[in-house]
């Protein structure tokens, strides 16, 4: 998929050792060609972490929420965070993303993210 700047829906920049250089981008949710579900792409770019992916949902809102949840999980699991170097607005946990209990399905999203990181 083409990643044009005008497709970016939201961004957040976290700090590594106090330097704003860990960038998170979420793209506009888009319906899949077959119309069965929606997909929301995201990108993480940090000094040690570079990853892109997407999350799906039955509509654009669910796809967006899943992408936001997984961004929080992937930030928490990043090398920058695991070494204690990542922060946002003075926070060294969660980084302003929704808490795990905001969506009962988030446990599954977290489990899948951890599973894919261990491969």
Report the alpha-carbon distance of residue 79 to residue 63 in Å, rounded.
26
Which has the higher per-residue pLDDT, 2 or 118? Answer: 118
DSSP string across 22-55: EEEEEEPPEE-TTSS-EEEEEEEE-SS-EEEEEE
SS3 labels along 47-90: CCCEEEEEEEECCHHHHHHHHHHHHHHHHHHCHHHHCCCEEECC
pLDDT of residue 105: 65
108: helix, strand or coil = helix
Task: Say which residue, 113 or 72, is predicted with more confidence.
Answer: 72
Q: Give backbone dihedrals phi and psi of 112, rounded to 5 degrees, phi first.
A: -65, -40
pLDDT score at 55 = 94
pLDDT in tens, 22-59: 999 999 999 999 989 999 999 999 999 999 999 999 99
Express each pLDDT in 13-24 by its tens digit: 999 999 999 999
Domain ranges of the chain: 5-117
pLDDT in tens, 53-112: 999 999 999 999 999 999 998 999 999 999 999 999 988 888 998 876 666 666 666 666
How is residue 105 written in tokens? 């399905």
Q: Please determine, for residue 1, whether its predicted confidence score (pLDDT) is greater than 50.
A: no
Contact 38, 32 (CB under 8 A): yes
Average confidence (pLDDT) over 1-19: 83
Global pTM?
0.80
């Amino acid at each position: 998929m083409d990643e044009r700047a005008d497709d970016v829906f939201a961004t957040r920049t976290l700090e590594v050792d106090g330097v704003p250089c860990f960038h998170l981008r979420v793209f506009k949710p888009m319906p899949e060609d077959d119309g069965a579900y929606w997909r929301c792409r995201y990108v993480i770019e940090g000094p040690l972490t570079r990853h892109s992916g997407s999350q799906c949902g039955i509509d654009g809102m669910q796809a967006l929420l899943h992408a936001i949840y997984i961004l929080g999980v992937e930030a928490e699991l990043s090398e920058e965070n695991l070494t204690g170097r990542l922060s946002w607005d003075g926070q060294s946990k969660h980084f302003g993303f929704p808490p795990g209990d905001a969506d009962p399905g988030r446990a599954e999203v977290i489990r899948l993210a951890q599973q894919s990181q261990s491969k």
